[in-house]
Structure 1
Amino acid sequence: MNIEELVRDSLREQASGQPSPATGFADRVLAVRRRRIRRLASVAAAAAAVVAVAVTVPLLDSGRTDVRPAEVIDGTVAHPDQWLPRDMIAAGRTTLAAYYTEQTVPTTPSRGVATRTYWLLNPRTEKYWMTPAFSDVAVAPGMRTAAVLEQSLPAHRIGILNLTTMKIERWIPVAHGVGGVEFSRDGSKLLATTYIENPDVRAPSAVNEETGEWAWQGPLGSPRDGFYVLDAVSGAGRWSAVPSGREINGRQDFAFSRTGEQVYSRIIGSRDGLQQFYDLDGNKIAAPANEKYLRSDVGARLSPNGRLAALGLTKEVGGSPGKSYSSIRDPLTGKEITKVRGAQLLAWADDRHLIAWERTTSLEAPYLPRLVLVTIGSDKVVPLSGTYKNIGKVVWEPVFAER
C-alpha cells in the first residue's frame, strides 16, 4: 500500500459514521494528512537507508560470496556462482557486455582456424545469449548495438546488431577485408582492422603426449594491411594502408586512443610499452602524452577522469589463495602512485575501482582466476564471476562496454 492509499483510507475512516463536518474540519483533515505523509516519508527514508546499507556493504573475501548473486556495492551486480556467466555482471559505469571462448578447429591436417563462440548481453533480459555466428564483436556505449563480423574472415561487410532483438539492422560494405572491429570511446566512430588473409589461421606445432591432441601456433608475421575509420551511423569513412612487418604476428587489431584521434596496436620487442601509435592516415607517430607509459596488453589503460594509468602485474604474495598486485601510475610521468589488487587490470568501473582477473589458487598451484572488483587504497576484492574450471580446456575472454 502506498502513501496516497493510506491517506485515502484514513480520510474514509474519519468520515465514516460522523456527523456533518463543522467549520474548519477540512483544514484539520489536511493538517492530519500532511503529518501522516511526513511520518510515512520519514519511515520510507529510514527503510531506504537500511536497504542501501545492506546493498553497499559487501561480504569481502568470504567463502559465502561464492553463492551470493546479489548487488554488492552501488551499481555493482555480481554472480560469483557462475563460472560461465549467465546473468549480467556490471560494476559502476562498466558492464560485461559480452564474452567469448576460442577453440582451434582443424580444416586440413596442416591447418586450423581459431574460432570464437560469443555470449552477448541482451540489455532487456540482462542475460547472455550464446551465438557461434560471429568472429568478432564490439559493443557500443549504451549497450544497445554491436558491430559484428561473420565467421569467414576477412569479412567484406560489417553488421550492426540490435542487442535487444539480436537481429542485424544493417550492413556496412567494405572493399578491404576486415578482421577486427572497435568503437571509439564516445561511440561515434568505428575502427575496422583489415587483413589480406584470415588472421586466425593456426598451424599444428606438437602433439600433447597425454591427450594425443595437437597444440596450435599462429603464423610468424601478419597479413594485416591497414584500417578503416568509419562513421558509426552512416558507415561513411576511408581506409588507410599500414604495411606490416616483423614487429607483429598474426592477429594484431588496431585500437582507438583515448580521444579517438589516433590509433595504436601492440608490437613485439618494443621498449615503450609494446605499442605503436598512428595518425588516421596510417603514419607512425609518437604516443599522446597521457598514453606514453601505457601498455597495449593492459585493457584498463586510463581512468575515466584521465588522471591514473593502469599498468601490469608487479607483485605476487603467497598464501591460499595467493595475492596479485598491479601498478597504478601517473600517466604523464610514468611514476608509480600505488599498487592495487589484481593480476590483470581489465577495465575501470569508476575513478577508484577496477575490474580485474585475480587468482583463486596459491602461487604453487595452477592459475585459476575469476573476475573481481578491486579498489584503490584497499586490499580487499569483490568476486564478480565464478572461477575458471577445466584449466587448459575452456577459458573465456571479456568484452566490456559503458552502460
Structure 2
Amino acid sequence: MNVEELVRETLRETAEAQGPVAPGLADRVLAVRRRRRARRIAAAAAGTVAVLALAVGVPQLDSGKGDVRPAGLLDGGSETYARPDQSPPRELIAAGQVALAAYYTTETQAEGDDHGRLVRTYWLLDAATGRYEKDTRWSYVAVAPGMRTAAVLERTLPAQRIGLLDLATGEVERWIPVGHGVGGLAYSYDGTRLLATTYEQDPDLMPERGVDEEGEPVYFADPEGSTRTGFIVLDPADQNENGNAWSSAPDEQRFNARSDFAFSRDGRSVYAQLVGERDGMQQFYDLAGNEVAAPANERHLRWDVGARLSPDGTLAALGLTKEVPDKSYSSIRDPRTGKEITKVRGGELIAWVDDRRLIAWERSAGEELYRPRLALVTIGSDEVTWLSGAREQRADTRWNWEPVFARW
C-alpha cells in the first residue's frame, strides 16, 4: 500500500467510525507510518523484548489499536515485571499501569575551593531493548504519564531552556526557552501541563562543612540558603509557549536549597516542602504564586511520601507507623479526615499501582542492616512481591540509586 492509499484508507475508516476528521490527520498518519517502520526494524533486531517496550514512545492513531504493550499492562494491570536480583535494575520493572521509567545516581563533585555540587546521572528505559541505558546529558529528568516524553534540563543549572525528549528515539523534539533559570521539573497528574521551579543559583550547590575522618571535604545543603524564586506552568503542546508566565512565591518560610514545586492532584495549585516546626508538611500556592489552603483531599498528606493519593482519590498514603522484625508498615488514611483506615506493608510508599496496590521500599528480610528493596504490596495482605534487589546506603547517607516511576 502506498502513502496516498494509506491516507485515504485511514480517512475513510475514521469518518465511518468517528465522524468529522480533525485537522492534520494526514500528517499524523504519515508520522505513525514512519514510526511503524522503525518499530519493525527494531523488532527484527531485538525480538520479543522490543515488542514489550517499544510502545512506551509510540503514539497511536486510535486508542489501543495496534498497541504493542503487554496485554497485562492494558487490561487493569495483572502483569508484573520483577527483577529481584537486580540493584540497580538493568531491565524493565513494572506493575500494572506503573513502570520504573528511569533511575538516577548521585555524587558530589568539588566546585571551587569551598563548595560542592550534587550531580545526578540518569539511566532511562530504552524503548527498543526494554533495558535501562545511561544518559549523561541531563541534570534533571521528569517523565510524563504515558512514558512517551520526558522533560529534561541540561547540565548547567539553572537552565535557560527545557527539552522535550522523545523516549522512543532518545532525541529532543523541541526546546522551550524560559525567561527565568529552571532547576526542577514536574508533570501534572494528567500530563497536560509541566511545572518548572525557578532558582537564582544552582539548587544542588552546597557549601563545604568541614572534612571527614580521611580528610575529604564534607558538603551539606544550607536549609535556609535556597535561591528559589518561583515557578512556571507550561503547556508542552503549545508551540508558541503562550501563557507560560513566571509566578513568584513568598519566601518567608524556611525551605531547603532544593525545594521543587509539584502539582496538586487537580492541577489547580502547586505545593512545596516546609521545614522546621512543620517538617514533613507542605505549603500550597495558587498558579499566580499566592499562598492558599491545601485542597480538602491533600491537607493531611506529606511532601516526603511520594505515593500521595490513590488513583480514585479515596485513599491517602502516609508515612511509616510500625516496624517489627523483617517488616515495616505504613499508614493508609482517609485523605479528607486524616483518620487511619488500615496499614500496609512497606517502609516508604512510592507509587500507587491501582486502588489497592502500591510500590514501596521495604526492608530485606534476615539482615541486620536496613537494605530496602522495591516491593509490590497490597492493602489487606501481608505478602509482598519483590521488584528489585536491595540498594545500599553510602557513607554520605544517600542511597546508591533513586527510582523515577511513571504511569504507562
| TM-score, length-scaled by structure 1 | 0.78
Letter in 2 for 1:381: V
Question: Any gaps of 5 or more consecutive residues in structure 1?
Answer: 1-70
Specify which of 370, 374, 377 is matched with residue 377 of structure 2.
Answer: 374
In the other structure, the counterpart of 1:152 is 156
- 1:185 aligns to 2:192 (yes or no): no
Specify which of 87, 92, 115 is matched with residue 88 of structure 1.
Answer: 92
Deviations 1:4-30 (A, max 9, x none): xxxxxxxxxxxxxxxxxxxxxxxxxxx
- 1:383 aligns to 2:383 (yes or no): no
Over aligned residues, Cα RMSD in angstroms?
1.9
Deviation (angstroms), 1:93: 1.2
Deviations 1:85-133 (A, max 9, x none): 1111011111111111111100222111100000111233221111121
In the other structure, the counterpart of 1:346 is 350
In the other structure, the counterpart of 1:54 is none
Q: Distance in 2 between matches of 1:273 and 1:212?
A: 33
Deviation (angstroms), 1:155: 0.3
Q: Is the 8 A contact 1:99 1:118 kept in 2?
A: yes
Specify which of 391, 400, 403 is matched with residue 398 of structure 1.
Answer: 403
Q: What is the total number of aligned residue pairs between the two structures?
A: 328
Letter in 1 for 2:237: V
Q: Distance in 2 between matches of 1:168 and 1:221?
A: 33
In the other structure, the counterpart of 2:21 is none
Q: Distance in 2 between matches of 1:217 and 1:341?
A: 32
Q: Distance in 2 between matches of 1:259 and 1:371?
A: 28
Q: Is the 8 A contact 1:222 1:251 kept in 2?
A: yes
Q: Distance in 2 between matches of 1:269 and 1:74?
A: 42
After superposition, the Cα gap between the structure-2 partners of 1:345 and 1:390, relative to the gap in structure 1 and judged at 3 Å, is closer
Q: Distance in 2 between matches of 1:190 and 1:389?
A: 32
In the other structure, the counterpart of 2:273 is 266
Q: What secondary structure is seen at the aligned counterpart in 2 of 1:147?
A: strand
Letter in 1 for 2:322: K
In the other structure, the counterpart of 2:138 is 134
In the other structure, the counterpart of 2:63 is none
| TM-score, length-scaled by structure 2 | 0.77
Q: Distance in 2 between matches of 1:348 and 1:390?
A: 25
- 1:238 aligns to 2:245 (yes or no): yes
Q: Which runs of 4+ in 1 moved over 6 A?
A: none
Q: Is the 8 A contact 1:313 1:325 kept in 2?
A: yes
Deviations 1:371-391 (A, max 9, x none): 111110011111001111464
- Residue pairs, 1:150-229, within 5 angstroms: 150-209=154-213, 211-219=214-222, 220-229=224-233
Q: Distance in 2 between matches of 1:246 and 1:229?
A: 22
Question: Any gaps of 5 or more consecutive residues in structure 2?
Answer: 1-71
Deviation (angstroms), 1:245: 3.7
- 1:303 aligns to 2:310 (yes or no): yes
Q: Distance in 1 between matches of 2:395 and 2:171?
A: 33
Q: Distance in 2 between matches of 1:269 and 1:335?
A: 24
In the other structure, the counterpart of 1:281 is 288
Q: Is the 8 A contact 2:371 2:393 kept in 1?
A: no
Q: Distance in 1 between matches of 2:180 and 2:300?
A: 32
- Residue pairs, 1:65-76, within 5 angstroms: 74-76=78-80
In the other structure, the counterpart of 2:123 is 119
Q: Is the 8 A contact 2:203 2:257 kept in 1?
A: yes
Q: What secondary structure is seen at the aligned counterpart in 2 of 1:291?
A: coil
Letter in 1 for 2:261: F
Q: Distance in 2 between matches of 1:329 and 1:221?
A: 34
Deviation (angstroms), 1:361: 5.3
Letter in 2 for 1:215: V
Q: Distance in 2 between matches of 1:370 and 1:392?
A: 19
Q: Is the 8 A contact 2:115 2:219 kept in 1?
A: no
Q: What secondary structure is seen at the aligned counterpart in 1 of 2:276?
A: coil
Q: Is the 8 A contact 2:100 2:404 kept in 1?
A: yes
